[in-house]
């Protein structure tokens, strides 16, 4: 499902699972997926604080992510071990290859193991996500343009996969919120 240059991910996943078990068997209850530049210092930080204050164990990646082409095995493991994911869609979410690969893993877990997915549409309409239109669609086109320059065959594969995934999640019942800056 992910780029072929993943290396020996299975061994790394086994190692990470062992490390997870050593860390007091504490799994995350919620995985937050968001585009940092859009919502990290605003909506997502408030959502994270509210969930933590309610006693919910939340995975929120605060480190600046490497600009690699694949999500790390540790993030995939965090998604798999969290029964719920909250996906905060924002105007530039679809410009991040990392966010879309995270989303694909989240939706794979939804389809295969019943992972609960709660989309939040932050200053973007669900139909923009479902049909890749408006500012959200423009961000998606910018990403596809970058991939197209790398490898035409990969671009077609990811374009089809991500369009299907975005269409699927865009049809979920969700929370819509407007930016407080408006």
Q: What are the chain's domains?
A: 4-125+172-177 (3.40.50.10140)
Whether the predicted pLDDT of 24 surpasses 50: no
Residue 57 main-chain phi, psi, to 5 deg: -85, 115
Instruction: Decide which of 65 and 89 is more confident.
Output: 89
Looking at residue 177, its pLDDT comes to 56
Instruction: Decide which of 27 and 84 is more confident.
Output: 84
**CB atoms closer than 10 angstroms to residue 55:** 7
Q: Which of 90, 56, 27 is nearest to 47 (CA)?
A: 56
Question: Is the pTM of the predicted complex or chain greater than 0.85?
Answer: no
Contact 143, 95 (CB under 8 A): yes
Query: Who contacts 83 (Cβ-Cβ below 8 Å, separation ≥6)?
Result: 29, 115, 116
Contact 82, 59 (CB under 8 A): yes
Looking at residue 63, its pLDDT comes to 46
Whether the predicted pLDDT of 37 surpasses 60: yes
Whether 102 is catalytic: yes
Looking at residue 93, its pLDDT comes to 95
User: Residue 129 and residue 169: Cα distance in Å, rounded?
Assistant: 8
Catalytic residue, candidates 80, 95, 102, 104: 102
| Sign of the alpha-carbon torsion through 54, 32, 24, 21 | positive
Whether the predicted pLDDT of 3 surpasses 70: no
């Amino acid at each position: 499902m992910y780029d072929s240059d993943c290396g020996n991910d299975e061994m790394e996943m086994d190692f990470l699972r062992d490390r997870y078990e050593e860390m007091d068997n504490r799994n995350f209850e919620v995985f937050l997926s968001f585009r940092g530049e859009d919502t990290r210092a605003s909506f997502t930080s408030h959502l994270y604080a509210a969930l933590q204050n309610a006693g919910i164990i939340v995975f929120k990646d605060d480190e600046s992510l490497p600009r690699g082409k694949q999500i790390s095995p540790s993030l995939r493991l965090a998604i798999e071990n969290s029964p719920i994911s909250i996906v905060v869609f924002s105007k530039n979410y679809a410009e991040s290859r990392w966010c879309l690969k995270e989303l694909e893993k989240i939706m794979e877990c939804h389809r295969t193991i019943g992972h609960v997915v709660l989309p939040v549409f932050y200053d973007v309409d669900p139909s923009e996500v479902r049909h890749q239109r408006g500012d959200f669609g423009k961000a998606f086109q910018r990403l596809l343009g970058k991939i197209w320059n790398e490898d035409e065959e990969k671009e077609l594969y990811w374009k089809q996969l991500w369009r299907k995934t975005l269409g699927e999640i865009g049809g979920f019942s969700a929370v819509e919120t407007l930016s407080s800056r408006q």
